[in-house]
Amino acid sequence: MKLADKTDLSVTFKGGSSVGGKRMQQLHPDSVRLPARIGSMAIAAGFLIVAMLAGYRYIGWPPVIIVGGSGTAAFVLWSLTYLRRPLPAEVVLPAFLVTVAGLQIHLIEEYRTGFAPAMSRLYNISWSVNSYLMIFVFIGPVLYTLTALGLFKRIPLAGFLMCFIFIGPGVAEFTHFIFPLLKPDVQPTVAASVQAVVGRGQLMQNLPNFWFRMTGHYYFPGMYTAILPMIPGVYGLFNLVRAARSAN
């Protein structure tokens, strides 16, 4: 009997064990090792904490709730999908770029119609136009650009910001359709724009009222273009989950 013709008994099974007694290091080539995952999670958590503290310090509680809620959801989704195994750029990058493009168009409407002053009157916070521009027009595009580069290079941390954009400026845009139904905290029965001391004692002018009950017009700044980042954001989430499941 020719031993050379016998089938090799060292058959490797999924998970890394082998019948022949040799233990193979079974790590998918695209998987992120545990130390790198822990480091990325620490950076993402630090980013969230700093963003929430800054939002509370300069604006008030609403940014903490918005950033904290969206960020926490993004953190969980990211840790279960992209962080474990970064996906190819062609899978995630197109949806991210389209979401960002839609968001930038949406920000034009928000800026032109007074989103920050409207939110200041709605929630009694001191959110100035300059602060709005600093966050969304200057700092935002820097983060979007770095995230796109990170997704192209399949850097794990970039997946967190991608999930945050999909959920925050993406899915959460539906709130624009709820805002007109909410009673403002500042002079709700005055339909005209007002001057008032809001937030932590800051005097702000031209605070508009978009309460539907007072104006009779169902609108809030940014509502018309809210679907532009929302649709690709929702698609990006479904595509991310589906691709992550297929990769596993």
- Better-scored residue on pLDDT, 4 or 189: 189
Contact in structure between 121 and 198 (CB atoms under 8 Å): yes
pLDDT for 173-182, tens place per residue? 999 999 999 9
In whole angstroms, give the CA distance from residue 61 to residue 182. Answer: 17
Among 31, 29, 26, residue whose Cα is nearest residue 15:
26
Mean pLDDT over residues 169-194, rounded? 95
Distance separating alpha carbons of residues 218 and 216, to the nearest angstrom:
7
- Rounded Cα distance, 192 and 22, in Å: 78
Cβ–Cβ < 8 Å for 55, 64: yes
pLDDT at 3 over 70: no
DSSP state of 139: I
* pTM higher than 0.75: yes
Whether 212 shows a pLDDT value over 90: the answer reads yes
- Delimit the domains of the chain by residue range: 33-247
Distance from C-alpha of 67 to C-alpha of 71, rounded to nearest angstrom: 6
Alpha helices in 20-139 (DSSP H): 34-58, 61-80, 89-113, 115-123, 129-133
pLDDT at residue 20 is higher than 70: no
Phi, psi for residue 245 in degrees, rounded to 5: -65, -40
Three-state DSSP at 189 gives coil
Q: 30 by DSSP, 3-state: which?
A: coil
Using one digit for the tens of pLDDT, what is the confidence trace for 106-144? Answer: 999 999 999 999 999 999 999 999 999 999 999 999 999
Instruction: Tally Cβ neighbours within 10 Å of residue 215.
Output: 14
Would you give the distance in Å from CA 167 to the centre of its chain? 4
Residue 12: pLDDT over 80: no
User: Strands 194-198, 202-207: parallel, antiparallel or unpaired by DSSP?
Assistant: antiparallel
- How many CB atoms lie under 10 A from the CB of residue 75? 20
Which SS3 state, helix, strand or coil, does residue 203 take? strand
Q: Whole-number mean pLDDT of the chain?
A: 88
